Structure 1
Amino acid sequence: MLPSRPHRQSAAEATVAAFKVKAGPDLGALPEWDLSALYPAMDSPQFAEDLARAASEAQAFNAAYKGQLETLAKDETGAQLAAAIAGYEALEELLGKIMSFAGLTYSSDTSDVARAKFYGDAQEKVTAASSDLLFFELELNRLEEGALDKALLNGPLARYRPWIADIRKGKPYQLDDRIEQLFHEKSVTAYGAWNRLFDETITAMRFDVDGEKLAVEPVLNLMQAEDEATREKAALAFGAGLKDNLRTFALISNTLAKDKEISDRWRGFKDIADARHLANRVEREVVDALAAAVRDAYPRLSHRYYRLKAKWFGVPALKFWDRNAPLPHTAAKVYPWGEARDVVLGAYGEFSPKMASVAKRFFDERWIDAPVRPGKAPGAFSHPTVPSAHPYVLLNYQGRPRDVMTLAHELGHGVHQVLAAPNGALMAPTPLTLAETASVFGEMLTFRALLAQTHTIAERRAMLASKVEDMLNTVVRQIAFYSFERAVHTERRKGELTPDQISALWMREQADSLGPAIELGAAYESYWAYIPHFVHSPFYVYAYAFGDCLVNSLYGVYQGARDGFAERYLAMLSAGGAKHHSELLAPFGLDARDPAFWQIGLAMIEGMIADLEALEDKA
């Protein structure tokens, strides 16, 4: 754990502390992570030594192997090339460990100047070291087709067959070595710098809610308060704060979209999202089929549900700040940390004791950072770090039912990452489309456990409604985000976009996806600006919809035949990035390339909405 530093409470900290005292529930002791599995502290000798070792070993690797892979490939046993790949993998692990620690330390408090400098310096040095490794995958891809076929069948090189097959998919888009090196080294001052500007801007922002200056997470929490006036004040304050900074966010968006267009054009990608599809190891037609299926389902899903929710609220249309509001006349349950932990581990354990055992380590060994703190990165994530260590989960836990589901979601990622780690640094990482499978499945298990605990129609309706809203946010909202991104990147190719133009594209896609039962006001026009996926991972968002629909299909298989399912499921997670989605889904009788596949997942959401409508007759 990083050593704590005594400091005087700032005005912002005092404000958030006052907010917690006044409005925050008693959640019990919330855990803070212990990063010592990576390094003891920012100023530790171990970190400095590893940073220096990474630079020297990367240079030595470059001197030993650059220009030599064609010769090594002539060894039909594959032993020499396998040894080179193993050395490359070890260096990737070392660099990953360094940047994992730097990134997690920075995300703990992005407002701290010392941490920001530490992260920036580490990023520069790791980028410089990895430049010496850049040649390796490029040279592997230049080996003649078939040169390695015999060696890949068995022997030491066979272990790396999936990784070699994956990097070969990028062969048509790779550039001359010098250009690749230029792109790589300039990433620190190109998209990396704009990513950091976004992070530091959004974290430093304070929103004026009734005279209190609140950070992003407390404001978003107020937008789900039981009191409508509180939700409205928070929503309007959030929109106003974003609007005041909209020129900065528009500049970030314009610059990153142009940066991506330049890269895509040089590499020869035909579609604006093709680079993401390649990284996700998913075919464009599969994503197109998913997006089309979800858009076609808008009237049956989001439009239908929000019409029903507006009826519960007794209005013809919901204000946008009521979209995720608690249902009227239904007390919102607060989950202290210990209860949330027991709910999630209980749901995991009922499905698979092994899965619960892995998840329990996150609590017991301090792999979770849960409290809301000034400067802490907003949202939630599970960082896989490196196979020699373990994942870390960041939350901003505030005791809502959705926070319990977020805990279940991120622990799903964490379990997946732990199980995949034995594949090594090159093959443990999972494409984003499949990376969301375990997280969404963990949510589904937890939801079913909570639903089974309901005793009244009102409780069941509240639980079902919360899950439907989460699924709409995961499927409908993310495809709307994907459509918005496509529109922004397409229009950006014609010239720079003004903040108003970006906002107009945002409002068009939101209106289409949410339907006439949601009233979008002027304050909502700037809400696109705070969504980090648009900045950090262009076109990432469809992975959520992919994962949710995939999990709905998986869960249907589980309900129909539970015997042996958990074993097959854990085997799928353990494969990491070593198999294509078609191979991983085959044991379950599922095929994402079949257009009918997406209808299975969408039908589950539609069925839950129908269940809610049926409860109306019983109420």
Structure 2
Amino acid sequence: MKDSLLWDLSDIATNETFPQLIADTKKRIDKIVTWRKHLSPQMEKKQFVKMLNEIEDLKSVIACIYDYPALKELTDRTDIKAREMKATALDIVIAAEESVRFIDHWLQGKDVVGPEKLNDEQAEVLFSIVPEHKHLLWRSRELALHTLSDVEERIILQKDLQLSEPLLDLRRIIESEQQYKIKLDGEKKTKVIRTQAELSKLTTDANPKNRESAYRVLFKEYEKNLDKYFIIYQAIAKDWSSVANLRGYNEPISMRNRANDLPDELIDLLYSVCSENLGIFHNFFELKANLLKIPKLRRFDLYAPLKDSDKTKYSFAEALDLVIDTFEGFDKDFADKAKRVVAEGHIDSHPSPKKAPGAFCATIHPKITPYVFLNFTGKTRDVFTLAHELGHAVHSLYSSVNPYSGQNPTLPLAETASTFAELLLFDRMMQLVDTETQQKLLMERLADSYATIMRQINFSMFEKEAFALFAKGTNPEDVSSRYYQNLLAHFGDSVDVDQIFSYEWAYIPHFVNSPFYVYAYAFGELLALSLFAMYKDSGEVAVNKLKKILTFGRTAYPIEMLQELDISLQDRDFWMHGFSVINNWQKNVQNIFSHERI
């Protein structure tokens, strides 16, 4: 196998086939519109099935039309042709959504001009014809309680495009114009850094003075523009709250919870369990301070590198072999699905000058094997990223037994296989490496768990408070003060938090891009940890349960799908199992270091 892989997008489309794909899709859209005159509670079964299949086919083709240029552009950001195709794709996406909305509203039981209204009894008859769609069809009717009229929904869509999106663009412009003047320790001249990506590297610098300087110059720029960031955040938050209120949700976060198919009480339980387990990470911070040979960790030191950090290098072939072997040790079918991604040429592995940063897995539709995008440089972290993204791909392949609309799980469940894959790899590597490397792996894993669980939960809890402040009327200083007080409570006596971090809220893009989005990271990580604890306890039984979870996609509510496997998401003890895994890591690393001079 070559050590560097370039993906082949021809399973989605090619530059040559793209124009015809657009033309064919326009015909599909016109065909969907004609179904309006056939809508009736007394529709023939064959007609109803044919209509749903044509809608699903349209959605699958739309995914190809949008994803092909988007993926092309990510591997070459100078590709003008890809940008042109993406603009064309966006127009088609909007047209497709418009064509389906009328039918969606009728299926939801809403009053629409023309056809007879579909009541619950009639809906049950039609929906029972298509068991693979039944959950989502009934979910759509339940969401009708929070759906407005067709005209109102159009207004909200246009408002989002013409008001919310420009506000987000404005924020990006303000952020992109920020420059960071920093004087590094030991250097005479002040350096101008133009990108956050470059500056963020200094927040993990080995020199504590450079770390502090990096954070100070970063948040100083946000302080300078605080009024602007405040106005944008306030506008987005008030808009979100207004729409949530119009749709009849109990509180702003409820709109996100409903989109994630989770009840408010379950998210409250998540907050409570996380708050109860903060002490695990307080101990971790105190240990890290000892390792850094400082009396107490400062927030500036949170991501400081430890001495002799892991410098192991892997070739891509070595990394892939390690990941696949790890999956084989868990389950052959799980591993075979990962191999399929490689065999079909659906991985783009290494960085290049024109390529975008980051890593992700793109699920197109059930008939296409997912694509994995990487920027592999040979570090141990890159091996875990490979396992993570292949885990996503495996998840998609298990859920490909469902129709397009039911393939992708809700956000909180989307990280199940990917995080589980990382945990399998971590467990395997801990068995293969020496004690010194075990120390490094444990410290890195604990740091990652903090960032994914506790940091995100703290963000989410702050969001609720910020929205309450906006509702009453507030100002930038009050928002910053509330954020700072939350940080002090979050870190307790384990970390000193400088006042400059009170402006960090303005730096977090998710607050404005996707309100209340971030708790899903913690939910997914803890769910995977709890399932991993179950796997370590019961072996093959847990393997079969996990694979069953992965096949559901979005064809059942999370609580119901796990109940089928005798797992209760509303049981506090289940979530505590996830923290027991983290607590064991903490104890293991504490034991290792207690036998050494610190």
Specify if TM > 0.5: yes
Quick one: which of 550, 556, 565 aligns to 1:579? 556
**Equivalent residue letter for 1:37:** D
Matched, 1:170 2:143: yes
- Which structure 2 segments of 5+ residues have no match? 110-117, 185-190
Tell me the number of residue pairs that the alignment of Structure 1 and Structure 2 aligns.
Answer: 580
Over residues 290-310 of structure 1, what are the superposed CA-to-partner deviations in whole Å (9 max), with x where a residue is unaligned?
111112222x22222112211
C-alpha deviation, 1:554, in angstroms: 1.1
Quick one: which of 448, 465, 471 aligns to 2:427? 448
Partner of 2:66: 99
Over residues 245-291 of structure 1, what are the superposed CA-to-partner deviations in whole Å (9 max), with x where a residue is unaligned?
65554454333223312321221112111111111111111111111
Taking a change above 3 Å as real, the CA distance of residues 362 and 232 of structure 1, as seen in their structure-2 partners, is: farther
Matched, 1:74 2:42: yes
C-alpha deviation, 1:522, in angstroms: 4.7
Find the aligned partners of 2:89 and 2:64 in 1 and give their Cα distance. Answer: 11
Partner of 2:567: 590
Taking the TM superposition and a 5 Å limit, the aligned residue runs for 1:362-511 are 362-372=341-351, 378-456=357-435, 458-495=436-473, 497-498=475-476, 500-511=477-488
Over residues 478-533 of structure 1, what are the superposed CA-to-partner deviations in whole Å (9 max), with x where a residue is unaligned?
111111222233322334753x4444343333333233322333554444445443
Quick one: which of 356, 360, 366 aligns to 2:335? 356
Taking the TM superposition and a 5 Å limit, the aligned residue runs for 1:229-248 are 231-240=211-220
- Higher alpha-carbon deviation: 590-599 or 283-292: 590-599
- Higher alpha-carbon deviation: 302-311 or 535-544: 535-544
Taking a change above 3 Å as real, the CA distance of residues 468 and 492 of structure 1, as seen in their structure-2 partners, is: same
Q: Is residue 203–residue 210 contact of structure 2 (8 Å, CA) maintained in 1?
A: yes
Taking a change above 3 Å as real, the CA distance of residues 533 and 379 of structure 1, as seen in their structure-2 partners, is: farther
C-alpha deviation, 1:453, in angstroms: 1.9
Find the aligned partners of 2:180 and 2:348 in 1 and give their Cα distance. Answer: 24
C-alpha deviation, 1:80, in angstroms: 2.1
**Equivalent residue letter for 2:401:** P
Partner of 1:65: 35
Taking a change above 3 Å as real, the CA distance of residues 587 and 270 of structure 1, as seen in their structure-2 partners, is: closer
- Which structure 1 segments of 5+ residues have no match? 1-27
Taking a change above 3 Å as real, the CA distance of residues 325 and 336 of structure 1, as seen in their structure-2 partners, is: farther
Quick one: which of 259, 264, 271 aligns to 1:279? 259
Q: Is residue 217–residue 378 contact of structure 1 (8 Å, CA) maintained in 2?
A: no
C-alpha deviation, 1:194, in angstroms: 4.3
Find the aligned partners of 1:448 and 1:184 in 2 and give their Cα distance. Answer: 46
C-alpha deviation, 1:450, in angstroms: 1.6
TM-score of the pair, normalised by structure 2: 0.87
Find the aligned partners of 1:201 and 1:382 in 2 and give their Cα distance. Answer: 30
Partner of 1:548: 525
- Higher alpha-carbon deviation: 168-177 or 97-106: 97-106
Find the aligned partners of 1:232 and 1:283 in 2 and give their Cα distance. Answer: 41
Q: Is residue 132–residue 402 contact of structure 2 (8 Å, CA) maintained in 1?
A: no
C-alpha deviation, 1:57, in angstroms: 2.6
Partner of 1:137: 104
Quick one: which of 598, 604, 609 aligns to 2:581? 604
Find the aligned partners of 2:201 and 2:317 in 1 and give their Cα distance. Answer: 20
TM-score of the pair, normalised by structure 1: 0.84
Quick one: which of 280, 295, 299 aligns to 2:275? 295
**Equivalent residue letter for 1:57:** R
Partner of 2:123: 148
Partner of 1:159: 132
- Higher alpha-carbon deviation: 193-202 or 470-479: 193-202
**Equivalent residue letter for 1:426:** S
C-alpha deviation, 1:369, in angstroms: 4.0
Q: Is residue 69–residue 83 contact of structure 2 (8 Å, CA) maintained in 1?
A: no
Taking a change above 3 Å as real, the CA distance of residues 475 and 331 of structure 1, as seen in their structure-2 partners, is: closer
Taking a change above 3 Å as real, the CA distance of residues 148 and 255 of structure 1, as seen in their structure-2 partners, is: same
**Equivalent residue letter for 2:237:** A
- Higher alpha-carbon deviation: 552-561 or 566-575: 566-575
Find the aligned partners of 2:210 and 2:333 in 1 and give their Cα distance. Answer: 43
SS in 2 for 1:54: helix
Partner of 2:546: 569
Partner of 1:85: 52
Taking the TM superposition and a 5 Å limit, the aligned residue runs for 1:15-94 are 31-40=5-14, 44-62=15-33, 64-66=34-36, 68-69=38-39, 71=40, 73-75=41-43, 78-94=45-61
Find the aligned partners of 2:204 and 2:310 in 1 and give their Cα distance. Answer: 12
Over residues 15-70 of structure 1, what are the superposed CA-to-partner deviations in whole Å (9 max), with x where a residue is unaligned?
xxxxxxxxxxxxx9654544333232xxx3533333344344323312x222643x
Taking a change above 3 Å as real, the CA distance of residues 509 and 356 of structure 1, as seen in their structure-2 partners, is: farther
Taking a change above 3 Å as real, the CA distance of residues 493 and 110 of structure 1, as seen in their structure-2 partners, is: farther
Q: Is residue 281–residue 450 contact of structure 2 (8 Å, CA) maintained in 1?
A: yes
**Equivalent residue letter for 2:440:** A
Taking a change above 3 Å as real, the CA distance of residues 259 and 100 of structure 1, as seen in their structure-2 partners, is: farther
C-alpha deviation, 1:135, in angstroms: 1.3
Quick one: which of 245, 248, 270 aligns to 1:268? 248
RMSD: 3.1
Taking a change above 3 Å as real, the CA distance of residues 124 and 257 of structure 1, as seen in their structure-2 partners, is: farther
Taking a change above 3 Å as real, the CA distance of residues 522 and 484 of structure 1, as seen in their structure-2 partners, is: same
Partner of 1:327: 306
Matched, 1:344 2:323: yes
Over residues 168-189 of structure 1, what are the superposed CA-to-partner deviations in whole Å (9 max), with x where a residue is unaligned?
2202101111112232344332
Find the aligned partners of 1:107 and 1:200 in 2 and give their Cα distance. Answer: 21
SS in 2 for 1:387: coil
Find the aligned partners of 2:473 and 2:496 in 1 and give their Cα distance. Answer: 31
Q: Is residue 233–residue 512 contact of structure 2 (8 Å, CA) maintained in 1?
A: yes
Q: Is residue 269–residue 572 contact of structure 2 (8 Å, CA) maintained in 1?
A: yes
Q: Is residue 29–residue 95 contact of structure 2 (8 Å, CA) maintained in 1?
A: no
Partner of 1:181: 154
C-alpha deviation, 1:448, in angstroms: 0.7
C-alpha deviation, 1:330, in angstroms: 4.5
SS in 2 for 1:430: coil
C-alpha deviation, 1:400, in angstroms: 3.9
- Higher alpha-carbon deviation: 266-275 or 599-608: 599-608
- Higher alpha-carbon deviation: 535-544 or 390-399: 390-399
**Equivalent residue letter for 1:80:** Q
Find the aligned partners of 1:96 and 1:611 in 2 and give their Cα distance. Answer: 46
C-alpha deviation, 1:411, in angstroms: 2.1
- Higher alpha-carbon deviation: 398-407 or 314-323: 398-407
Taking a change above 3 Å as real, the CA distance of residues 51 and 191 of structure 1, as seen in their structure-2 partners, is: farther
SS in 1 for 2:108: helix
